[in-house]
């Protein structure tokens, strides 16, 4: 089957690799040119390692000098904390913290080595449809070059923008449920001079949002935060606005972030919502990664979901590659079965994440029962039934 994937992040590139290993003809279209930075917590949980083994990139990734993370510590505004050992996730004692530029480059190189047609620097701008299905997509480059590519199955792996899904809706005049306006903004930068444990990811809760700090390559730290629109407006015009929010609103962040120096420009994106979106929009268009579902960053499982959803789609294609309509419905069913419970739990935890009072109460409660805390940590990753044998 000829498959066209839009977006070469972890979900898109890993899917391209899996399909190429199965003998599919794959075209992978990416808007940017790699390597490039991406707004991300850059936390690779140990459950991802088994996927990297399947994809054949483990050696390349571990050779890039990322840091091992043995635990995550959550800090309330007053500085009270609870620790979640990485071993609780059940697949090793340490996670890996590595920049997205390095990780994405390794995956894309692997896809290219396997014969995937990779088109970098091309922006998808249209779809051609017939009988409710996509026949081809059109794209152009900044230098004016234009092109198109046809296929039997199209995959939206373009992250939260879900550009391919939106374009198909426009052409087919499908009217999806209106998306709410962005109520949150996410920020990211790499920092020097943070004063935290070299093997710990730290999460800081403060009024109006939360931030995460983790060591990556060399002396660099990654800081990523998500805040409400209203709170972000209070800091408009300040270079390090989200750092100011954390330092001013969380005692631990004041200790670790007060003297940091930024390594580059701040990245920022609006966040319109969480949860499952539309993994199967039309018969021959499906979505993976954040284009299909977006989970709260404080869970540290976004990267895992990207890899899991691409594996899930590849397995569904194995069984249903003759009929794209049946494939689309089956993938949607499996996706909901696998991820639904995770989103129920994280939607509850989200209330605490944006309320300092609730976050403090949750951290105090977690310290009372380590068994319950471990249960919550596992449920953000394995909250649903296994679908590997579902038919």
DSSP letters along 348-369, please?
A: HHHHHHT-HHHHHHHHHHHHH-
**Which of 140-154, 234-248, 278-292, 299-313 is predicted with the least confidence, judged by mean pLDDT?**
234-248
Straight-line distance from the first to the last Cα atom of the chain, in angstroms, rounded to the nearest whole number: 20
Residues 6+ apart with CB under 8 A from 15: 5, 155, 157, 288, 310, 313, 314
Matching residue, tokens 């996706």: 335
DSSP state of 125: E
Q: What is the CATH number of domain 2-179+273-382?
A: 3.50.50.60
**Bridge partners for 83 per DSSP:** 73
State the pairing for strand pair 184-192/221-228.
antiparallel
Give the Cβ contact number of residue 178 at 10 Å: 6
CA atoms in the 13 A half-sphere facing the CB of 301 = 24
Structure tokens at 162: 């879900």
**Nearest 5°: phi and psi at 60?**
-65, -40
Phi, psi at residue 368, to the nearest 5°? Answer: -75, -35
Q: Token pair of 225, please?
A: 């935060």
CA distance 152 to 321: 10
C-beta of residue 97 within 8 angstroms of C-beta of residue 44: yes
CA atoms within 13 A on the CB side of 292: 33
- So what's the pLDDT on residue 258? 92
What is the number of residues in the chain?
391
DSSP state of 78: T
- Secondary element (H or E) of residue 97: strand 95-97
Give me the pLDDT at residue 32, please: 94
Question: Which pLDDT score, from 0 to 100, does residue 198 have?
Answer: 84
Read off the pTM: 0.89
Kind of pairing between the strands at 261-262 and 184-192: antiparallel
DSSP of 333-346, one letter per residue? HHHHHHHHHHHHHH
pLDDT surpassing 60 at residue 188:
yes
pLDDT digits (tens, 9 = 90+) for 220-273: 999 999 988 888 777 655 556 778 888 989 999 999 999 999 998 888 888 887
Which range, of 25-29, 65-69, 273-277, averages the lowest pLDDT?
273-277
Please name the residue ranges forming H helices in the chain. 10-21, 48-55, 58-62, 100-113, 163-172, 229-233, 241-249, 251-257, 302-320, 324-353, 356-368, 370-382
Cis peptide before 388 (omega within 30 of 0): no
**CA 384 to CA 381: how far, in whole Å?**
8
β-strand pairing of 133-141 with 81-85:
unpaired
The phi and psi torsions of 278 (rounded to 5 degrees) equal -130, 90
Q: Which residue has the tokens 């750092």?
A: 243
Tally of CB atoms within 10 A around 261: 10
Q: Quick one: pLDDT at residue 101?
A: 93
DSSP letter at 290? G
- Say if CB 67 and CB 216 are below 8 A apart: yes
Residue 388 confidence (pLDDT): 39
Give the model's pLDDT for residue 390.
32
Residue with tokens 């499906």: 286
Reply yes or no on whether the pLDDT at 153 is more than 60: yes
> What does the pLDDT look like over 303-356, one tens digit per residue?
999 999 999 999 999 876 656 678 989 999 999 999 988 888 888 888 778 887
Q: Provide the pLDDT for residue 177.
A: 55
35 preceded by cis ω (within 30°)? Answer: yes
d(CA 14, CA 342): 22
């Amino acid at each position: 089957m000829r498959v066209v994937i839009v977006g070469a992040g972890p979900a898109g590139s890993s899917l391209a690799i899996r399909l190429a290993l199965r003998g599919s003809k794959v075209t992978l279209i990416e808007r940017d040119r790699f390597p490039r930075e991406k707004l991300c917590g850059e936390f690779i949980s140990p459950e991802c390692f088994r996927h990297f083994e399947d994809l054949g990139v483990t050696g390349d990734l571990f050779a890039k000098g990322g840091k091992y993370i043995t635990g995550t510590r959550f800090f309330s505004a007053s500085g009270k904390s609870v620790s979640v050992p990485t071993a609780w996730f059940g697949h090793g004692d340490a996670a890996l913290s590595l920049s997205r530029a390095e990780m994405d480059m390794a995956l894309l190189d692997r896809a290219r080595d396997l014969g995937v047609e990779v088109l970098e620097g091309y922006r998808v701008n249209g779809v051609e449809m017939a009988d409710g299905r996509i026949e081809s997509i059109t794209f152009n480059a900044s230098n004016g070059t234009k092109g198109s590519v046809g296929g039997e199955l199209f995959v939206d792996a373009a992250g939260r923008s879900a550009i391919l899904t939106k374009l198909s809706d426009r052409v087919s005049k499908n009217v999806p449920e209106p998306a709410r306006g962005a109520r949150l903004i996410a920020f990211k930068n790499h920092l020097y001079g943070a004063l935290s444990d070299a093997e710990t990811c730290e999460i800081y809760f403060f009024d109006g949002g939360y931030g995460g700090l983790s060591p990556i390559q060399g002396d660099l730290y990654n800081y990523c935060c998500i805040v409400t629109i209203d709170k972000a407006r209070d800091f408009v015009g300040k270079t390090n606005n989200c750092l100011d929010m954390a330092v001013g609103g969380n005692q631990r962040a004041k200790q670790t972030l007060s003297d940091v120096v930024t390594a580059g420009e701040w990245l920022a994106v609006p966040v319109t919502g969480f949860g499952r979106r539309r993994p199967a929009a039309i018969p021959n268009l499906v979505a993976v990664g954040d284009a299909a579902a977006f989970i709260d960053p404080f869970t540290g499982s976004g990267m895992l979901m990207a890899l899991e959803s691409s594996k899930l789609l590849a397995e569904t294609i194995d069984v249903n590659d003759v009929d794209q309509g049946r494939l689309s419905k089956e993938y949607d069913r499996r996706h909901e079965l696998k991820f639904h419970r995770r989103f129920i739990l994280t939607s509850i935890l989200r209330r605490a994440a944006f309320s300092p009072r609730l976050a403090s109460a949750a951290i105090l409660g977690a310290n009372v029962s380590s068994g319950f805390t471990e249960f919550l940590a596992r449920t953000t990753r394995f909250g649903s039934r296994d679908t590997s044998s579902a038919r």
